[in-house]
Amino acid sequence: MTDYDRTHILTYARLLDAERDDYDWTDVAMEVLDLDVAADPCGAKSCWQSHLDRAHWFVDGGFAA
């Protein structure tokens, strides 16, 4: 587990909760990641997806590998 992961555990949890509850990615990117989706939709989606992927990796035991 990296220092970055330690500081973003709550963010990962919020992303996974939002995915489970089927929230729109744009709302999650704005609310959880504080991204300006309107200014850079492609960059925001990439950032949201990479954080969500990391969250999945983290809870699936990747940090223990």
Residues 15, 55: contact at Cβ < 8 Å? yes
DSSP for residue 39: T
- pLDDT tens for each residue of 4-26: 888 999 999 999 999 999 999 99
Q: Are 51 and 33 in contact (CB under 8 A)?
A: yes
Read off the pLDDT of residues 47-63 as tens digits, 9 standing for 90 and up. 999 999 999 998 887 76
Q: Amino acid letter at 34?
A: D
Stated as kind and residue range, the H or E segment containing 52 is helix 41-59
